[in-house]
Structure 1
Amino acid sequence: MQKILDAIQADELDAIGSLPVPESYRGVTVHADEAGMFEGLESRDKDPRKSLHLDDVPVPELGPGEALVAVMASAINYNTVWTSIFEPVSTFKFLERYGKMSPLSKKHDLPYHVVGSDLSGVVLRTGPGVHAWKPGDEVVAHCLNVELEGPDGHNDTMMDSEQRIWGFETNFGGLAEVALVKSNQLMPKPKHLTWEEAASPGLVNSTAYRQLVSSNGAGMKQGDVVLIWGASGGLGSYATQFALNGGAIPVCVVSSQEKADIVRKMGAELIIDRSAEGYKFWKDENTQDPKEWQRFGKKIRELTGGEDPDIVFEHPGRETFGASVYVTRKGGTIVTCASTSGYMHQYDNRYLWMSLKRIVGSHFANYRESWEANRLIAKGLIHPTLSKTYALADTGQATLDVHRNAHQGKVGVLCLAPEEGLGVRDHEMRAKHLDAINRFRGV
């Protein structure tokens, strides 16, 4: 691995293909025999530092249509949290199911799971049938893993019957020194970003693009009022940028004055600090409070001059979903993914059916949507929201930060990169956007 890193740092990328691939690498894993370690604990009390391990693991066999990537940096997503606390199910169930699909996928069914759904790095090797990428290419990867052997995915690859999220429902993810991806996950690394900055947008940027901008999601248009939950977080920070860039009017919901200051720096003007307002959408574990929905809706109208949201960008789930359905305008759209506060949503259906609203489920993005989202990053129209970067050995702590919502934007992880600030190719472009790139730093 050191020889590979030396070649990358010396900008000798043409030599990468001639260097031997190591037999093993360091990767962050969970172990199948520990899947029950948190039984009886509440989700909030489950500690990823106890379940995530930094292990030496064998380099997987490279198959047709696949690529091995030397990972310079990665990032933490909520699916890393879910994997680490074995919720809602152990990811080993995913790996077992995938392993039964074909001889090629059998290698994913292991007693350990190398996690992570983001990366930036350099292609080491490509398998048979790969023509668009070669060793030495600087890349980022999106996390859609598809087979496309059936008809369903050929209009929208997210509809493929064998669609999976790499590093969550497959093995050999990006929180490691080496990752195995399919070649159609690869995209060019934005040249003006460091390794850790380039790694951080992948999953959340593509997810927000499909959810809010794409015709497969909400199909946002100019002038739309868009309510964005968690507007300074991993997903919300990109939704806020897309709304502003697309001529929409974001109403940004945050949980502190500090977070409100961040979204103001992005250019948002209409901000609701839900902690300061004291909203309590649930009277108890089983009962919501419609009066709080009404109070929340009134606050939105105060900010917008009397308009309700055309689109609600939903991802907290159980805690907020009733309020989201209520406040959406007649004929409007609630577009939802994730459900970080709980999957079992409850809402009053009268406000949906009688007002002709619609709920749209949105999950990650297809290759085209991911490419478009990455292109916007590469052109400096959308910026990374990286706030803090950890060493690979400290991935457990980084995941705990995300689990406890003690973070802003995205949390990065250095894999092979020995320090932050490396990997920039276009310094002139970087200088133009440096303030925007660093908006979330240190917050």
Structure 2
Amino acid sequence: MDSAFAETVENAGSAEIAALPVPDHYRAAVLRRAEQTMFDGVPAAERDPAKSIHIEDVPTPEPGPGEALIAVMASSINYNTVWSALFSPVSTFAFLDRYARTGGSAARHSLPYHVIGSDLAGVVLRTGPGVRRWRPGDRVVAHCLSVELEDPEGHDDAMLDPQQRIWGYETNYGGLAELALVKANQLMPKAGHLSWAEAASSGLVNSTAYRQLVSRNGADMRQGDNILIWGAAGGLGSYATQYALAGGATPICVVSSERKAAICRDMGAEAIIDRGVENYQFWRDERTQDPREWRRFGERIRELIGGEHVDIVFEHPGRETFGASVYVARRGGAIVTCASTSGYMHEFDNRYLWMHLKRIIGSHFANYREAWQANRLIVRGRIHPTLSCAYPLSEVGTAVDDVFHNRHHGKVGVLCMSPSEDHGITDQALRSKHEHAINRFRRF
């Protein structure tokens, strides 16, 4: 996309954007169907996501009923993009083909390529029939929940819709591109005090942390709760830490370096465990956990919070940490899990679960209401983005590799049509009140 088009989209009014011709093609980060077996036989830890991601021109889709075409100013990297690029645990083309078999407009999602990415901040270019809330020129962010809501199960909580999918992972036309196709009920207002890159960095992780920790559908956090947060300076944990602090809880932040510990202290956390220093080894070997390390870990937690126990464990590493998480939660406490970045075959000692009446709660992204509430806190400057850096779209492979190898902290952004990280700010007054927090992860 040429710079003149991007500049017009960013600065023009609704009528001008509605009259602007939409390009036939756009640049996108794609996986190729023909390469989905390229890593067969290679252990996941040794795969190179930069080799599977390509920047290519792809045809522009037409928005159908209830859909919107977005000019993407910025996006960000989530761990589902890492999984996509590794073709692990399964190729995402299996998801696209399954979706296509449901028929109708879903059929166009099965293509020789997959446009990946589950975040965006940008401008509405076109809307399909039946879209009333949004119009060309609106500045928006998108959450990643795609639902059909033709089954009754989803009408109490849209996450229970049998046709629930994650956009850009289980659907095509994702956000790591110059244009993206979304359902209109994925859209939310962009915060005026944030740049495009900052606004794009929060959608998936902020909504996920909100449901997992705050919502009744998750842990239903209360004031005074002690919350163990794994990866507390990472993309997901950094939002959980903010929610704990904002909600009157005590976060116990587990990090992997002094730099990440410093970030947590800057956010206001006091109880911090640096695994790089304290060297917890929860596994003796590939198949055997070490309960002595669970106990040492639990003793350290109680030492940090005045002898009390953990009410809620905010879990997402999975296999590596899950046994310890179940052990350290208090009697009647909860382990709420949303991912398994270190492996999804969890093992734990069930005696500490059943005899101590603990609960394991599965939590997956968020419904529209939860995502909207989480975004509202971003818009009002109550919760802040955790962007640490942003790559151009041409270097998205490097950005994904950084997240895969945990070389990052906070969120890694991707500039799609935005020429630099400082574009997109329209409310400088609100920004000036929160400049320190907005730039926290960049400083470190």
Counterpart in 2 of 1:266? 267
Name the amino acid aligned to 1:96: D
CA distance in structure 1 between the partners assigned to 2:358 and 2:226 by the alignment: 15
Counterpart in 1 of 2:316? 315
Name the amino acid aligned to 2:60: V
Name the amino acid aligned to 1:77: N
CA distance in structure 2 between the partners assigned to 1:337 and 1:347 by the alignment: 17
Q: TM (normalized to structure 2)?
A: 0.99
CA distance in structure 2 between the partners assigned to 1:277 and 1:337 by the alignment: 26
CA distance in structure 1 between the partners assigned to 2:5 and 2:64 by the alignment: 21
Maintained 8 Å contact 1:7/1:13: no
6-15 or 283-292: which moved more? 6-15
The share of aligned pairs that are identical, in percent, is 66
Name the amino acid aligned to 2:441: F
Indicate whether 1:331 and 2:332 are aligned.
yes
Quote how far apart the aligned CAs of 1:414 are.
0.2
CA distance in structure 1 between the partners assigned to 2:14 and 2:197 by the alignment: 19
Q: TM (normalized to structure 1)?
A: 0.99
CA distance in structure 2 between the partners assigned to 1:184 and 1:98 by the alignment: 18
CA distance in structure 2 between the partners assigned to 1:325 and 1:275 by the alignment: 22
Q: Which runs of 4+ in 1 moved over 3 A?
A: 1-4, 9-14
Give the 5 Å matches for 1:132-281: 132-281=133-282
Name the amino acid aligned to 2:362: G
Counterpart in 1 of 2:86? 85
Name the amino acid aligned to 2:166: I
Maintained 8 Å contact 2:323/2:348: yes
CA distance in structure 2 between the partners assigned to 1:258 and 1:442 by the alignment: 11
CA distance in structure 1 between the partners assigned to 2:31 and 2:443 by the alignment: 29
Quote how far apart the aligned CAs of 1:442 are.
4.8
Unpaired segments ≥5 residues, structure 2: none
1:177-235 deviation digits (Å, cap 9, x = unpaired): 00000000000000000000000000000000000000000000000000000000000
Maintained 8 Å contact 1:217/1:360: yes
Quote how far apart the aligned CAs of 1:338 are.
1.0
Counterpart in 2 of 1:34? 35
Counterpart in 1 of 2:394? 393
Counterpart in 2 of 1:287? 288
CA distance in structure 1 between the partners assigned to 2:329 and 2:13 by the alignment: 54
Name the amino acid aligned to 2:417: L
CA distance in structure 2 between the partners assigned to 1:205 and 1:436 by the alignment: 15
Counterpart in 2 of 1:381? 382
CA distance in structure 2 between the partners assigned to 1:246 and 1:372 by the alignment: 14
CA distance in structure 1 between the partners assigned to 2:161 and 2:225 by the alignment: 31
Quote how far apart the aligned CAs of 1:11 are.
4.0
CA distance in structure 2 between the partners assigned to 1:438 and 1:223 by the alignment: 28
Quote how far apart the aligned CAs of 1:256 are.
0.7
CA distance in structure 1 between the partners assigned to 2:88 and 2:417 by the alignment: 29
Name the amino acid aligned to 1:311: I
Name the amino acid aligned to 2:139: E
Quote how far apart the aligned CAs of 1:440 are.
0.2
Give the 5 Å matches for 1:416-431: 416-431=417-432
SS of 1:211 mapped into structure 2: helix
Quote how far apart the aligned CAs of 1:6 are.
2.4
CA distance in structure 2 between the partners assigned to 1:22 and 1:185 by the alignment: 23
CA distance in structure 2 between the partners assigned to 1:139 and 1:356 by the alignment: 43
Maintained 8 Å contact 1:388/1:442: no
Counterpart in 1 of 2:433? 432
Unpaired segments ≥5 residues, structure 1: none
1:42-61 deviation digits (Å, cap 9, x = unpaired): 21211111000001000112
CA distance in structure 2 between the partners assigned to 1:52 and 1:340 by the alignment: 20
SS of 1:198 mapped into structure 2: helix
SS of 1:344 mapped into structure 2: coil
Report the CA distance shift for 1:158/1:441 in structure 2 as closer, same or farther (over 3 A).
Answer: same
Maintained 8 Å contact 2:68/2:127: yes
Name the amino acid aligned to 2:338: C
Name the amino acid aligned to 1:29: V
SS of 2:319 mapped into structure 1: coil
Maintained 8 Å contact 1:4/1:16: no
Quote how far apart the aligned CAs of 1:7 are.
1.4
Counterpart in 2 of 1:71? 72
CA distance in structure 2 between the partners assigned to 1:130 and 1:13 by the alignment: 15
Quote how far apart the aligned CAs of 1:13 are.
4.2
Name the amino acid aligned to 2:400: T
SS of 2:440 mapped into structure 1: coil
CA distance in structure 1 between the partners assigned to 2:63 and 2:255 by the alignment: 44
Counterpart in 2 of 1:16? 17
Maintained 8 Å contact 2:206/2:239: yes
CA distance in structure 2 between the partners assigned to 1:225 and 1:243 by the alignment: 9
CA distance in structure 1 between the partners assigned to 2:121 and 2:202 by the alignment: 10
